[in-house]
Chains A and B, each alone.
Chain A
């Protein structure tokens, strides 16, 4: 996790540090399914996944991938920022053996009251560079000499002077 991140430290176009997970194994998938109590057979039953659903292998859970994205953002925003919004699409499948790399790039910075509302393009690429989970996020950051982002976060704080 970054120590402290401030609006003063970032510019449009800046890349976020990568978050790398994997290679993903069937043990990762099974453990995640157990924690989520998600017993969909495409996550643990190879024969069902490949013969019934005609998938290439058992699938890495989508909810696991979304967590990587959130971990990626919260690690970057550190203790000063607030990961406010996140959206993404599941466009690609991931299977055991894949290594997933969370990436991000700042696309816009809007100054709102004493804070910065930062738009970030994000995604998860596999070891071949294929993008499977493209999305976007909104992170609220304070200025170095400004008030902290309030906890709990209230969007109304963005409209204060």
Chain B
């Protein structure tokens, strides 16, 4: 297992874990849809009620996962694996939107000899309207955090 930079007590709630801007283009959406083998008119042509193409609701959090959370977690806390996740889908994400994401470390806890951190990402459009919330809890795998060893 790799060593980690932060000790458990040094993990500070409120720490910003990353920022990202993602331009939602036709090409980005087409690539995602082909990967998922998705052929739903909302996403492919912009069927009613939206009127123009929207992204699958979870696409933005997925594209943002590395720069918003994982780069920080892997670099500072070491290996980790997702234990829980929660989304709120507040508004559709249209092609042409540039989505702005910011991530924060919001919770840490110990349970059954394991240690966990929870990070939260907030995604907004250019006007600051919230589009998606993503809250995920990662179990820490490094021996430094394994209370069972």
The answer on A and B forming one complex is: yes
Smallest beta-carbon distance A150→chain B, Å = 10
Which of chain B's residues have a CB closer than 8 A to the CB of A85? Answer: 86-89
With A37-B66, A67-B36, A148-B49 given, is the CB distance from A88 to B84 under 8 Å?
yes
Contact of A79 among B49, B62, B66 (CB under 8 A): B49
The yes or no answer to A127 lying at the interface (CB within 8 A) is no
Which B residues are within 8 Å of any A CB, using their own CB?
A: 31-32, 35-36, 38, 40, 42, 47-50, 56-58, 62-63, 65-66, 81-92, 129
On whether the beta carbons of B86 and A86 are closer than 8 Å, the reply is yes
On whether the beta carbons of A87 and B58 are closer than 8 Å, the reply is no
On whether the beta carbons of A35 and B31 are closer than 8 Å, the reply is yes
Which of chain A's residues have a CB closer than 8 A to the CB of B86? Answer: 85-88
Which of chain A's residues have a CB closer than 8 A to the CB of B35? Answer: 31-32, 34-35
With A36-B63, A37-B66, A151-B50 given, is the CB distance from A71 to B85 under 8 Å?
no
A69 nearest CB neighbor, chain B only? B58
| Whole-angstrom CA separation of A94 from B89 in the bound complex | 26
What is the interface residue range for chain A against chain B? 20 to 34
Task: Known pairs A86-B89, A88-B85; list 5 more (Cβ under 8 Å).
Answer: A36-B62, A79-B47, A85-B86, A89-B83, A153-B89
Smallest beta-carbon distance B53→chain A, Å = 14
On whether the beta carbons of A83 and B84 are closer than 8 Å, the reply is no
A86 nearest CB neighbor, chain B only? B87
| Whole-angstrom CA separation of A38 from B69 in the bound complex | 12
- A111-145 residues with Cβ-Cβ distance < 8 A to B are none
The yes or no answer to A99 lying at the interface (CB within 8 A) is no
13 A-B pairs within 8 Å (CB atoms) are namely A31-B35, A32-B35, A35-B31, A38-B66, A66-B85, A67-B36, A67-B58, A79-B42, A85-B86, A87-B87, A89-B85, A90-B82, A152-B90
| Whole-angstrom CA separation of A84 from B86 in the bound complex | 11
Smallest beta-carbon distance B54→chain A, Å = 9
On whether the beta carbons of B49 and A151 are closer than 8 Å, the reply is yes
On whether the beta carbons of B57 and A83 are closer than 8 Å, the reply is yes
Smallest beta-carbon distance A35→chain B, Å = 4
With A84-B89, A88-B85 given, is the CB distance from A71 to B36 under 8 Å?
yes
| Whole-angstrom CA separation of A32 from B49 in the bound complex | 29
| Whole-angstrom CA separation of A71 from B37 in the bound complex | 11
Which of chain A's residues have a CB closer than 8 A to the CB of B62? Answer: 36, 63, 67
Which of chain A's residues have a CB closer than 8 A to the CB of B81? Answer: 62, 90
| Whole-angstrom CA separation of A37 from B47 in the bound complex | 29
